[in-house]
Amino acid sequence: MFQLANITKAYRTRDGQRLDILRGIDLTIGEGDYVAIVGGSGTGKSTLMNILGLLDRPDGGSFRFHGDEIASIAEPERARLRNRCIGFVFQQFHLLPRTTALDNVCLPLLYGPWDSPRRRAAEALAKVGLADRISHTPEQLSGGQQQRVAIARALVTDPTLLLADEPTGNLDPATTGEILSLFDTLNEAGTTIVLITHDSEVARRARRTLRLQGGVLF
Ligand SMILES: Nc1ncnc2c1ncn2[C@@H]1O[C@H](COP(=O)(O)OP(=O)(O)OP(=O)(O)O)[C@@H](O)[C@H]1O
Ligand SMILES: [Mg+2]
């Protein structure tokens, strides 16, 4: 499905200092794979996830998605791929404030070919256990409920690739178990999953675990 070779990414601080975060990432992910990425805080996991999700570009290296070199794909087509193929659960949720859970989950459906967006969004919210909270805005939801709205929004388009950055970081053990069962079901049905976690129990559910350390994955 995608293949990364020698991917690098550096940030520049305000005083001009260069921070090499990703120093040569090699990663191949096949259809139906389920990969957990672990590693210390600040090692670059979210940076890598943003690259995998076509939200950010690497500085160097090769990134092929379904055989095509991503760098050579123009932004409109990248946006289309993102919307049609990728579901993203952000570490900071990124829900729209003052907007109901239902409307937040509907959002990705407004840019694609999907019909009955409100019905689909309501079904996705029911899957994460929030059928009774669809009219609540993020301000009226607990942290774990907001996280589940973010998960519903990632799943509502039936993505072929689910990228989830600490998707259970705010959930209690029982709710974590429910979300992981949902991910298992999706993976058994063919969804490719890449998940970032600090929780070794969560990582164990994946087919394989990779560690990001010193800018490389192993
Ligand atoms: N825009 C930026 N400019 C400068 N430095 C940045 C920028 N974004 C991230 N960094 C730095 O890059 C490193 C990697 O950040 P990243 O968010 O990818 O870490 P992470 O592995 O996801 O950490 P956590 O587990 O805490 O979420 C951090 O040390 C961070 O300070
Ligand atoms: Mg992070």
Map out the domains of the chain as residue ranges.
33-58+75-217
Q: Whose CA is nearest to atom 10 of ligand 1?
A: 11
Per-residue model confidence (pLDDT) at position 112: 84
Q: Whose CA is nearest to atom 13 of ligand 1?
A: 42
Ligand 1 contact, 52 CB (< 6 A)? no
Per-residue model confidence (pLDDT) at position 33: 98
Ligand 1 contact, 17 CB (< 6 A)? no
Per-residue model confidence (pLDDT) at position 66: 85
Residue partners of 87: CB distance under 8 A and separation at least 6: 153, 154, 155, 156, 157, 159, 161, 162, 163
Ligand 1 midpoint to CA 40 (Å):
11
Burial 7-28 (b: 16+ CB within 10 A, else e): bebeeeeeeeeeeebbebbebe
Please give the chain's pLDDT, 218 residues, in tens.
899 999 999 999 999 999 999 999 999 999 999 999 999 999 999 999 999 999 999 999 999 988 889 989 999 999 999 999 999 999 999 999 999 999 999 999 998 889 999 999 999 999 999 999 999 999 999 999 999 999 999 999 999 999 999 999 999 999 999 999 999 999 999 999 999 999 999 999 999 999 999 999 99
Residue in 131, 147, 86, 142 with CA at minimum distance from that of residue 112: 86
Per-residue model confidence (pLDDT) at position 111: 85
Burial 117-150 (b: 16+ CB within 10 A, else e): beebbbebbebbbbeebbebbbeebeebbbbbbb
Q: Hey, what CATH class is 33-58+75-217 in? A: alpha beta
Ligand 1 contact, 11 CB (< 6 A)? yes
Ligand 1 contact, 43 CB (< 6 A)? yes
Ligand 1 midpoint to CA 45 (Å):
8
Measured CA to CA, the distance from residue 210 to residue 47 in angstroms comes to: 15
Q: Whose CA is nearest to atom 18 of ligand 1?
A: 44
Q: Whose CA is nearest to atom 28 of ligand 1?
A: 42
Q: Which atom of ligand 1 is nearest to the CA of 49?
A: 18
Q: Of the ligands numbered here, which is closest to the C-alpha atom of 47? A: 1
Per-residue model confidence (pLDDT) at position 29: 96
